[in-house]
Structures are given as C-alpha cells and as structure tokens.
C-alpha cells in the first residue's frame, strides 16, 4: 500500500535515507556513529521542512511496515529546504558539519525526486516502480527530475522504463550522475 508519510514513520524513513547518504559517502555519515546521524535525520523529517520532511515523502507499506519510500518536492525550493537543517536542535558535533547536502542537485521548474529507497529484504518486488508510478500520477503535467549515479545501470534502466530520459550530467560529492527528466503530457 502506498500512502503519504506520517511523523511516526520517521525512523524507517531515516534508515532508508541513511542508506543513500552512506552510498554518497557524505562526511557526516562516514565520521559519526550511524544512530547519531539517524537521530538527526529523524528530527529533519518532523521538526523542520527539510528535504526529507515527511510531507515530501510517500511510503510503501508491506504488512504494516514501511518497506520503501520516495522523496520529492519542487526543485526551486531545494536550497530553502536544505537551509532548514540549520534550524534543527542538534548536537554540536553534527552541527559542525553544516548542512548535509549544500549543493543544488535539481533544476528549477521541475519536481525533483530526490530519493527512492527500499529495504534490502523488499527489493525485487517492484516497490520502487510502484512508488514512481504513483508519484508521477500526482501531477501528470509536471516535469519531473532526478539524478542517477552513472554506474547504477539497474536504476537507470528502471527510470528509462518509466519514461525518464537522460538530459545531462553532473558531479556531486565526488560522484558522477546522469540527470534524467520525465515530462508529463
């Protein structure tokens, strides 16, 4: 079942986003204990309108458990959402890192799909595809954007199958990405 996230989903969403941040090799994730970072992420999901604020998230449930999530928001508000991290009441060692994702990823005018993640035990069941299809149907006239790590061929094939097309390249946090867009009718 797909639904909008609720505040009580914060831990599962934080765990999923942590997987992505870990793959991105963000300093805060590499240098601080996982549970400390997840606690900060939980705060960002419910306390301020950060990128992964619960109102920006759809979750996929299996037997009452969050199995996956998708985060999306208007791209032109990305850096505004990022600055909201600074409003969080966080320990000094986390604050010392600044905001986790200070570089603009999205293109203005798009709805940016920042993250899609599924717990390993639920992969291969079409959950990511279902989340994408659901979200794309929420605004069929929009231009949707995302980035995909260049060497993540499986993800890129999925996005292309859903109708996304490569529309440029970018480098973020030491990783190379393809920009991909989906234009509604």
Domain ranges of the chain: 2-137
Residues paired with residue 53 on neighbouring β-strands, in sequence order: none
* Collapsed DSSP state (helix, strand, coil) of residue 134: helix
Predicted TM-score of the model (pTM): 0.95
Are 178 and 140 in contact by the 8 Å Cβ rule? The answer is no
Cα torsion 177, 178, 181, 182: sign: negative
Structure-block tokens of residue 61: 């449930």
- The answer, yes or no, to whether residue 29 has pLDDT greater than 90, is yes
Question: Which residue has 């279902």 as its token pair?
Answer: 130
pLDDT at 184: 80
Distance, in Å, from the CA atom of 59 to the CA atom of 9, rounded to the nearest integer, reads 9
What average pLDDT does this structure show over 84-96?
A: 97
Buried b (16+ CB within 10 A) or exposed e, 148-184: beeeeeebbebbeeeebeeeeeeeeeeeebbbbbbee
**If 0-12 CB within 10 Å is exposed, 13-18 middle and 19+ buried, where does residue 21 land?**
buried
Start-to-end CA distance of the chain, whole Å, equals 26
- Kindly report each contact of residues 164-170 with a partner whose C-beta sits within 8 Å and lies 24 or more positions away, as own/partner: 170/105
Average pLDDT value over all residues in the chain: 97
pLDDT at 81 over 80: yes
Tens digits of residue pLDDT in 93-148: 999 999 999 999 999 999 999 999 999 999 999 999 999 999 999 999 999 999 99
Average of per-residue pLDDT across 77-99: 97
pLDDT computed for residue 62 by the predictor:
98
CATH number of this structure's domain 2-137:
3.40.630.30
């Amino acid at each position: 079942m797909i639904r909008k996230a609720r505040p009580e989903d914060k831990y599962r969403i934080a765990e999923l986003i942590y997987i992505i941040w870990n793959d991105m090799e963000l300093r805060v994730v590499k240098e601080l204990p996982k549970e400390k970072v997840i606690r900060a992420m939980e705060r960002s999901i419910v306390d301020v309108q950060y990128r992964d604020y619960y109102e920006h998230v759809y979750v996929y449930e299996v037997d009452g458990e969050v199995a996956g999530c998708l985060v999306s928001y208007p791209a032109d508000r990305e850096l505004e959402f990022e600055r909201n991290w600074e409003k969080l009441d966080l320990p000094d060692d986390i604050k010392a890192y600044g905001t986790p994702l200070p570089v603009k990823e999205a293109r203005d005018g798009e709805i940016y799909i920042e993250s899609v993640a599924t717990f390993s035990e639920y992969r291969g069941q079409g959950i990511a595809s279902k989340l994408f299809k659901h979200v794309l149907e929420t605004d069929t006239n929009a231009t949707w954007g995302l980035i995909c790590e260049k060497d993540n061929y499986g993800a890129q094939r999925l996005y292309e199958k859903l109708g996304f097309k490569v529309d440029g390249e970018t480098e973020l946090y030491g990783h190379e990405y393809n920009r991909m867009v989906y234009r509604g009718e």
